[in-house]
Structures are given as structure tokens and as C-alpha cells.
Homo-oligomer: A and B are copies of this chain.
């Protein structure tokens, strides 16, 4: 692919104009929307409006007048079509980590006599750390990790819940949700899917997969802003039986009765906890609104084509890098990773030249393609700059060695 061909692909892209909905800085090719989605142009005004009119003028009255009290359910219902769920099976609450914890403890308690959380090594760290905390909390429970291609065989009578990330944060590999879910359920286990790297970029059909539980992130492809609230999904058949350990007042059946005794809401609201973060929820709702009018099939096709073109260009022009991600786009999320011994310094050099990707320890360069605002010419230019960095051996530059924290 030449730059001219890439430009032609952009011109033919039915989503090309959607990019204008985002306030991307000049001179930057942003290939990290899988870590932090870009700023929608309308979000600052929305924040302004919520702060000045709803909070400033409405004050406490806005809990009713502007439906603050319903925001977590309302936005959850808007996320539902992204994941193939019913509107009343999704709620926005807390962080992805906290939601993982809620559902892991709920699952362990719902499967007495089973004490194992089964996962894969190298899962996103917070998932494993939270599983460790959930097992420690309930006591007499444990986390076990096995290579993901052996996970179905590892589901024995002690497994209460299988916890997996649908699209791997590093490799981008996408798991077989329907197959693993069915196999786990056949062995009496629940399955908890982390959709953080999936939602807004790949096809998801939780209902069709008969999924039990899921969580996901608001600040990646959903464009909700740094540290945006997360969401959780619980299949309706589990609403009456699964209990949240974080039984805060917003999950109560009648939060404004102020009774001393806890009684969980009958529906998905039982997985809410504390007072919802209204400013952050407004930004998340605005982030989700950027998908309005966007054809979902076209979005997914574009995501795959961007990844394919990146792989083809890197393999043709930068053979020093080794592909980590699946070559088959249907088995991949919307990011692609490559291995290189100097990946960290290469990533810093790329950022320095306006190409923002990220590094994942120990040696992965990760490039994400948020299909709402990344185009084919972006990919071409990014690989061109990568080629020059390799030619320059930029990793010899000590400026690119200092380790920084990047989430």
C-alpha cells in the first residue's frame, strides 16, 4: 500500500467524516485510543452545561429534575446495544476493577462448594489482582491460571467462575466467547468476560453467547474520558440470585427509605454502590453519543481493515518487528502489537515524533486503531515514521530510556 492508496481508502471510507467529531491535536497520529479514547468536540460544552446549569443552578434538585438518579441505568442501557445485551442488563458504576470484584465475589458465593477463579496468565493485571483480592476476601478460595488454549479442559468441579478478557490487552487476541461460555456452563461454572478492549470496536453478542457476567471500560473506545466510569452486565436470569458484596445504598431496593436493613434491588440496580459520579457520567454519555448514526458493520469492517493494513505495512517495511497479534482480523481486537527488543525506546521515539502508541512490558509495541477517528493514511504515516526510527537506531538515544507511567 502506498500513501496514495491509503488516501484513496480514506476517501472511500463511509466513516471518514466521523473523525471531525473529535478534537485531535495537530501533528499527532493517535494510535492509543484503545488506552484512552480521544476527546469528542462536544464534551467540553456538555461538561460546562452539567456543571453550570444542572449542578450550579439546579443544585440538589437535579437528582430529579435532570434525572441524575437514573443516569447510571440510562447510560447502561445505551451501552447494551454495543455488547448485544438487553437495556436492563447493563449499568454504569464504579471502575472496571471494582466491578470485577463485585461479580467475582457474587459468583464465588453463588457456587458454594466451588472455590476456584480460573483465568489465564498474562491477563490484564488488574483482573488477576482483583481476583486475588476477591478470593482472599471470601477466604478458602483461590485463583488458578492456565494457558488460555487449555482453559476449557481445566474447568473442573472446583471452578466457580472463569474470568477472561475477551480481547487481550497486549496481543489483541480475541477469544471464542460462545464456545468457552458453553463449555464452562456445561461444567457448572459461571463465566465473567472483561470487555474493556472490545466494546465499541468488535462485534459482541452477549445474549447470543448466553453470557453470564461481564464488565467493561468507559474510557477506551467509548471515549468517556480519563478514568471514566465503567459498566457491568449481569444476565437477567441471575438478577435475583447474585448479590453484590459492595452493597451500597444505590443498590438498595428503596434507597430513600433510609431503613437500617439491606435489601437489594430486584434488578440490575443491585450492582450499583455509592452515589453516582454525575460529571464523569455526563462525559461518558457524550463519548457514547459519538457512535450515533455510525453503522456498526461498517465500523467493524474498518477496524479490521486498519489492523490488516498496519500488519501488511510493518511486515513489508519493518521486518525487524515480530507480529504478536493474530493475523486473522476476525480473531483480533482493534489493536495490533509487535515485539522488538527495544520496544520501549522505539515507542518513546514514536511519541516524540507525533505517533502515539504505547509500550507493554517486556517488549511489545502496541498500536491501536479507534475506527471512529483513525484513517488509513494515519497508519501509513505511522509506519513510515517507525521505519525511520529503526533506520536511525533511535534506541541508542538515552532520552528514550527513562521509564514513565502510562496507563
Interface residues in chain A, defined as those with a beta carbon under 8 Å from any beta carbon in chain B: 23-25, 28, 30, 32, 35-36, 38-39, 43-44, 47-48, 51-52, 54-57, 59-64, 68-69, 94-98, 101, 105, 109, 121-123, 125-126, 128-130, 132-134, 136-139, 145, 219, 225-230, 243-252, 255-262, 273-281, 283, 351, 356, 358, 360-361, 403-407
Q: How many copies does the complex hold?
A: 2
Q: Is the CB of A249 within 8 A of B97?
A: yes
With A47-B47, A52-B23, A61-B351 known as contacts, the answer to whether A273 contacts B226 (CB < 8 A) is no
Partner of A56, one of B39, B96, B230, B258: B39
Partner of A262, one of B101, B128, B283, B360: B128
Q: Is the CB of B36 within 8 A of A59?
A: yes
CB distance from A339 to the nearest CB of B (A): 15
Q: Is the CB of B407 within 8 A of A245?
A: no
Q: Is the CB of B47 within 8 A of A249?
A: no
Q: Is the CB of A274 within 8 A of B137?
A: no
The 3 A-B pairs with the shortest beta carbon distances in the complex, nearest first, are: A95-B274, A97-B248, A133-B247
CB distance from A369 to the nearest CB of B (A): 15
Partner of A60, one of B128, B259, B279, B406: B406
- Nearest B residue (CB) for A245: B137
Q: Is the CB of B274 within 8 A of A225?
A: no
- Bound CA–CA A258/B145 (angstroms): 15
Q: Is the CB of A95 within 8 A of B137?
A: no
Q: Is the CB of A258 within 8 A of B125?
A: yes
Q: Is the CB of A51 within 8 A of B39?
A: yes
Q: Is the CB of A277 within 8 A of B97?
A: no
Partner of A129, one of B101, B139, B248, B356: B248
CB distance from A400 to the nearest CB of B (A): 14
Q: Is the CB of A47 within 8 A of B248?
A: no
- Nearest B residue (CB) for A403: B256
| Residue numbers in B under 8 Å from A47 (CB-CB) | 44, 47-48, 51, 279
- Bound CA–CA A219/B279 (angstroms): 12
- Bound CA–CA A278/B68 (angstroms): 20
CB distance from A368 to the nearest CB of B (A): 10
| Residue numbers in B under 8 Å from A257 (CB-CB) | 361
CB distance from A320 to the nearest CB of B (A): 23
CB distance from A108 to the nearest CB of B (A): 9
Q: Is the CB of B225 within 8 A of A279?
A: yes
Q: Is the CB of A277 within 8 A of B245?
A: no
| Residue numbers in B under 8 Å from A38 (CB-CB) | 56, 59
- Bound CA–CA A52/B48 (angstroms): 12
Partner of A130, one of B121, B128, B248, B260: B248
CB distance from A49 to the nearest CB of B (A): 9
Q: Is the CB of B277 within 8 A of A229?
A: yes
- Bound CA–CA A317/B263 (angstroms): 41
Q: Is the CB of B52 within 8 A of A44?
A: yes
Q: Is the CB of B129 within 8 A of A262?
A: yes
- Bound CA–CA A134/B273 (angstroms): 13
